[in-house]
Amino acid sequence: MQTALQQPMQADISSASVSSRNYRILWRWHFYAGLFVMPFLMVLAITGSIYVFKPQIENILYGDMLHVAASGQTRLGYDKLLGIAAGALPKDATPSSISVSADLQRSTEAVFRLPSGDSSSVYLNPYNGQILGTLSVEHRLMKQVRQIHRDLLLGRWGGWLMELAACWTLIMVGTGIALWWPRKQFSAWGTLLPRLGLRGRAIWRELHLVVGIWVSIGAIFFVLSGLPWSSFWGKNFQAVVTWAGSGRQPPAQAAAPAAHDMATMGDMPMKMQDLPLANIPWAVGATGVPMSRDMLPQPLSVDQVVDIAARNGMATYQLALPNNISGVFTASYAPGAGEFVRSDLDRQRTLHIDQYSGAVIKDLRFTDYNPVSKLVTLGVALHMGEYFGLANQLLCAAISLTLLGMAVTGFVMWWKRRPQNSVGAPKRVVEPPPSIKRWKGYMAILGILFPLMGVTMIAVWLGDTLFFRKRA
């Protein structure tokens, strides 16, 4: 018969056993997530830390092309500047966009589509038409950095890999917080502050644990604010949000649907993200581009369109040129991108102008965005270090480099404990405690919200169940 003293002791042992099994299961998932995420996280951290300083870096690399001395003389017309720029490129190059800026010290950028399919930017002095230089749109440094950040330069498959890495980061952070959570009497040292007197693997674990909890909020924010740009989930999420907000369109575009009746010429309906613009606000990327309705003998000149945009309150923007007889001029302003460091979100604007009559077919402003689009727009601006200037950039870089440090310390910890000829995964728990069901529920929700991750979670679970039973 059990004594009264033995019963609480056995209860304590049973409780410790449940806690130990919970810990091992969470550690095993944390290990798998970290092992997969680690190389991608290092790429994301390095490229993100570089790209966040894009305005400063491009000013250093291309400052002589981006800036001119302010002058009191009248600027040349944009049609004339396009003609001068065309002379610097092959004859069959086609103009696709031109920059319009109220900054007196900013050059004019004219973008042309080349026969090869690539695009080239020609920079001109707007006061005298001097060609300041040319740059490839696709192969300039910061464009390459951004593409590595988004898809490793591997296209769709690379984009899916980076999206999976971002999603698995959520599992890594969630399980990491659970592993960090104090199970004994709370102490700031070892929980919120590292004990630097430790040596060997213990100090690496301490740094990984304590620094990780401090940077976890930044990591979650980076993932959630970056996913709207991802190849699979982001594209579908953007389409759903755009569809849901279609009832909030401004009055100026009430007549726009009639424009699509002209699609009998063989033109496929275009979206904003298909236009030759370097910076397109996320909220309008999936919106449709209308077509010109008034087929007059002569389309408007670029200078006439610039005057129309000015009368509608737009002074700085990128102007996409029509690519066929039914196309429109599109003026898009996304503050914070390119020449701007601080993002004034409420000034985002997109204007579609009929290339014949000059009528404003569609006028999209920040105030027209639905609440989700506004929230995503804010998140993107913060993610890219554009919302509150240099301080925002430094904060983003600090979080990115700390995450890089987390990947390094995680690798060192794994390497120091890894058995020879083994991956070194924590041993599998054969009989999970009932309390683990709560974590399964959390992961199931994540798998439903992010289908790509859901598929890989099932694959990992099957692999863990079928191939690693002997490690139990």
Q: Encode the chain (472 residues) as per-residue pLDDT tens digits.
A: 455 444 444 444 455 577 788 888 888 889 989 989 999 999 999 999 999 999 999 999 999 999 999 988 999 999 999 999 999 999 999 999 999 999 999 999 999 999 999 999 999 999 999 999 999 999 999 999 999 999 999 999 999 999 999 999 999 999 999 989 887 777 888 888 888 888 888 888 889 999 999 999 999 999 999 999 999 999 999 999 999 887 655 544 434 443 333 333 344 578 999 999 988 999 999 999 999 987 778 999 999 999 999 999 999 999 999 999 999 999 999 887 655 567 888 899 999 999 999 999 999 999 999 999 999 999 999 999 999 889 999 999 999 999 999 999 998 888 888 777 777 778 777 777 777 788 788 888 999 999 999 999 888 888 777 766 554 4
In this structure, the answer to whether residues 289 and 335 fall within a common structural domain is yes
Q: How far apart are CA 376 and CA 381, in angstroms?
A: 9
Kindly state whether residue 2 falls inside one of the protein's structural domains.
no
At 249 the pLDDT is 55
Domain boundary among 333, 351, 383: 383
In this structure, the answer to whether residues 256 and 343 fall within a common structural domain is yes
Report yes or no: 180 and 191 within 8 Å, Cβ to Cβ: yes
Q: What residue type is assigned to position 141 of the chain? A: L
Kindly state whether residue 220 falls inside one of the protein's structural domains.
yes
Tell me how many domains the chain contains: 3
In this structure, the answer to whether residues 106 and 175 fall within a common structural domain is no
Provide long-range contacts, Cβ within 8 A and 24+ apart, for 443-450: 443/29, 443/171, 446/167, 446/170, 446/171, 450/167, 450/227, 450/233
In this structure, the answer to whether residues 177 and 32 fall within a common structural domain is yes
Kindly state whether residue 240 falls inside one of the protein's structural domains.
no
In this structure, the answer to whether residues 91 and 213 fall within a common structural domain is no
- CATH number of the domain enclosing 141: 3.30.505
SS (H, E, C) 111-156: EEECCCCCEEEEEECCCCCCEEEEEECCCCHHHHHHHHHHHCCCHH
In this structure, the answer to whether residues 204 and 175 fall within a common structural domain is yes
Domain encompassing residue 95:
54-145
Kindly state whether residue 244 falls inside one of the protein's structural domains.
no
In this structure, the answer to whether residues 165 and 287 fall within a common structural domain is no
At 11 the pLDDT is 43
Q: What residue type is assigned to position 291 of the chain? A: M
In this structure, the answer to whether residues 257 and 378 fall within a common structural domain is yes
pTM of full prediction above 0.85: yes
Kindly state whether residue 14 falls inside one of the protein's structural domains.
no
In this structure, the answer to whether residues 297 and 215 fall within a common structural domain is no
Domain boundary among 359, 383, 407: 383
Report yes or no: 47 and 401 within 8 Å, Cβ to Cβ: no
Instruction: Dig out the tokens for 467 from the structure.
Output: 């191939």
Report yes or no: 384 and 396 within 8 Å, Cβ to Cβ: yes
In this structure, the answer to whether residues 131 and 75 fall within a common structural domain is yes
At 16 the pLDDT is 53
Kindly state whether residue 64 falls inside one of the protein's structural domains.
yes
Domain boundary among 351, 383, 415: 383
At 266 the pLDDT is 41
In this structure, the answer to whether residues 163 and 206 fall within a common structural domain is yes
At 199 the pLDDT is 85
Instruction: Dig out the tokens for 226 from the structure.
Output: 């970056």
Kindly state whether residue 38 falls inside one of the protein's structural domains.
yes
Burial status of residue 463 (CB atoms within 10 A of its CB: 0-12, 13-18, 19 or more): exposed
At 182 the pLDDT is 83
SS (H, E, C) the chain: CCCCCHHHHHHHHHHHHHHHHHHHHHHHHHHHHHHHHHHHHHHHHHHHHHHCCHHHHHHHHHHHHHECCCCCCCCCCHHHHHHHHHCCCCCCCEEEEEEECCCCCECEEEEEECCCCCEEEEEECCCCCCEEEEEECCCCHHHHHHHHHHHCCCHHHHHHHHHHHHHHHHHHHHHHHHHHCCCCCCCCECCCECCCCCCCHHHHHHHHHHHHHHHHHHHHHHHHHHHHHCCCHHHHHHHHHHHHCHHHCCHHHCCHHHHHHHHHHCCCCEEHHHCCCCCCCHHHCCCEECCCCCCCCCCCCHHHHHHHHHHCCCCCEEEECCCCCCCEEEEEECCCCCCCCCCCHHHCEEEEEECCCCCEEEEEEHHHCCHHHHHHHHHHHHHCCCCCHHHHHHHHHHHHHHHHHHHHHHHHHHHHHCCCCCCCCCCCCCCCCHHHHHHHHHHHHHHHHCHHHHHHHHHHHHHHHHHCHHHC
At 259 the pLDDT is 37
Kindly state whether residue 243 falls inside one of the protein's structural domains.
no
In this structure, the answer to whether residues 282 and 378 fall within a common structural domain is yes
Q: How far apart are CA 62 and CA 56, in angstroms?
A: 10
Q: Tens of pLDDT along 383-406?
A: 999 998 899 999 999 999 999 999
Distances (CA, A) of 4 to 11, 12, 99: 11, 13, 83
